[in-house]
């Protein structure tokens, strides 16, 4: 098992290099640093000196991938690609184009993101599974049918509608929670409730429907028939047999997103004014701050790969038949 994990982590390195190459191609080859400098300094009336200064301050004045003027190993290392990528691998994200320390920003903004994303994930998972079990219990009745119809309808509503509608109803009409904002410590609770509730509601449609399919697939298996033949009640079949066996497909979808919770939610964070990583990214996109977007892309890929490894490990915990070799 340890060997397997080590191998998986080693396997992640070429993927991360690939991610870096790709973002590098996107950010530096398609758009030369000169273009970026012009965008940041304003398109008109920019002197070449100003551009050179801007590039030098941010380390963009080196050759892209191959430094012909340097000697030996420096031919590779004294380039933009090498300097920017190696830093990433050490999780040293450098400074944003505005001059702020990205690593520090990420560290402080991670917690508000988690404060929203973690409850949404946990509560959402519990509620979705409960609804799906209910529908599976009453399968092929009107309760099941109307549940599915409700799920499809809820899936078809834009996520933006839940947010805007929820803000309007709860905050503006009923004055139950503030419309947006964030506070430190326990004061944060009143700001967190609404985004969490809306996040959970927005996910019920697709989640409950997906888990229902999984449960129904399991209820068709032989072991379920055996359990019923033994005289077990439908409820205990569902809870002690089907639920356990359905954990594998459920874990596939759920565990992979756990590390990504750090990234927060782009949309709801910016609607609710929560200073997390999601709104950080959106602000960076709107301000065209390439350094931050690049750092977030790298961080996202790392977390995704961690999620994949965690999924594999969780399989062995849930199903002893699976051995990681």
Partner 1 sequence: MLFNPVFLWTDMLLWLLLVSVAFYIWRVRQREHLLQPWRRLLRSRSGVASAVVLLAFVAVGVFDSLHFRLPLEKQGNGAETHYSPEVLSVFDLMVGPLRKQVEKTYSAPFAVQLYTKETIELPGGKQVRDYPRLKYGGAHLREPVREQAGDIAVTALQGGVYAFFLCGGLTVALALWLARRRGISPGEAWTMIRHGRDEIPWRTLLTTIGLLILFGCLATVFSAKYHIFGTDKVGQDVFYLSLKSIRTGLMIGTLTTLVMLPFALLLGIMAGYFRGWVDDVIQYTYTTLSSIPGVLLIAAAVLILQVYMDNNQELFDTVAARADLRLLFLCVILGITSWTGLCRLLRGETLKVREMEFIQAATAFGVGHFRIIARHILPNVMHIVLISIVLDFSALVLAEAVLSYVGVGVDPSMQSWGNMINGARLEMAREPMVWWSLLAAFVFMFVLVLSANLFSDRVRDAFDPRVR
Among 2, 43, 174, 184, binds partner 1 (CB under 8 A): 43
* Subset of residues 7 to 26 that bind partner 1, contact rule: CB under 8 A: 14-15, 18-19, 22-23, 26
- Residue in 324, 318, 311 with CA at minimum distance from that of residue 255: 311
- Residue in 121, 151, 153 with CA at minimum distance from that of residue 134: 151
| Nearer Cβ to partner 1 (36/117) | 36
| Nearer Cβ to partner 1 (227/305) | 305
* Subset of residues 293 to 312 that bind partner 1, contact rule: CB under 8 A: 293-294, 296-297, 300-301, 304-305
Give the angle subtended at the CA of 286 by the CAs of 282 and 289, to the nearest 5°: 90
Give one DSSP letter per residue of 137-173, joined into a string: HTTTSHHHHHHHHHHHHHHTS-HHHHHHHHIIIIIII
Residue 272 within binding range of partner 1, rule CB under 8 A: no
Residue 223 within binding range of partner 1, rule CB under 8 A: no
- Residue in 112, 92, 116 with CA at minimum distance from that of residue 104: 92
| Nearer Cβ to partner 1 (250/263) | 263
Helix and strand numbers (H, E) in the chain are 15, 0
| Cα–Cα distance for residue pair 299/140, rounded to 1 Å | 45
Residue 253 within binding range of partner 1, rule CB under 8 A: no
Smallest separation (angstroms) from partner 1 to the CB of 47? 18
Binding site for partner 1 (CB under 8 A): 14-15, 18-19, 22-23, 26-27, 30-31, 35-36, 38-39, 43, 152-153, 155-161, 164, 167-168, 260, 263, 266-267, 270, 281-282, 285-286, 288, 290, 293-294, 296-297, 300-301, 304-305
């Amino acid at each position: 098992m340890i060997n397997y994990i080590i191998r998986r982590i080693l396997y992640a390195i070429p993927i991360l290099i690939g991610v870096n190459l790709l973002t590098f191609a996107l950010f530096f080859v398609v758009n030369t640093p000169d273009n970026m400098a012009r965008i940041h300094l304003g398109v008109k009336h920019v002197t070449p000196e100003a551009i050179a200064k801007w590039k030098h301050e941010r380390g963009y004045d080196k050759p892209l991938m191959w430094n012909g003027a340097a000697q030996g190993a420096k031919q590779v290392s004294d380039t933009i690609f090498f300097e920017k990528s190696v830093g990433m691998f050490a999780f040293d994200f450098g400074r944003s184009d505005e001059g702020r320390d990205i690593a520090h920003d990420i560290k402080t903004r991670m917690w508000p993101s988690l404060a929203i994303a973690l409850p949404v994930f946990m509560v959402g998972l519990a509620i979705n599974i409960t609804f799906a079990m209910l529908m599976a219990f009453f399968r092929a009745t009107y309760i099941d049918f109307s549940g599915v119809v409700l799920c499809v309808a809820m899936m078809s509503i834009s996520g933006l509608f839940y947010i805007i509608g929820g803000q309007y109803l709860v905050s503006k009409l009923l004055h139950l929670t503030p419309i947006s904002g964030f506070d430190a410590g326990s004061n944060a609770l009143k700001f967190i409730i609404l985004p969490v509730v809306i996040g959970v509601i927005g996910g019920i449609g697709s989640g409950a429907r997906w888990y229902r399919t999984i449960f129904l697939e399991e209820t068709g298996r032989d072991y379920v028939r055996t359990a019923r033949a033994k005289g077990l009640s439908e409820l205990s079949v569902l809870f002690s047999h089907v639920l356990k066996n359905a954990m594998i497909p459920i874990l596939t979808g759920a565990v992979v997103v756990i590390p990504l919770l750090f990234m927060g939610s782009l949309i709801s964070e910016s609607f609710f004014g929560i200073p997390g990583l999601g709104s950080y990214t959106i602000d960076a996109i709107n301000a065209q701050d390439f350094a931050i977007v690049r750092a977030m892309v790298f961080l996202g890929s790392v977390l995704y790969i961690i999620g994949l490894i965690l999924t594999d490990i969780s399989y062995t915990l849930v199903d002893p038949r699976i051995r990681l070799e």
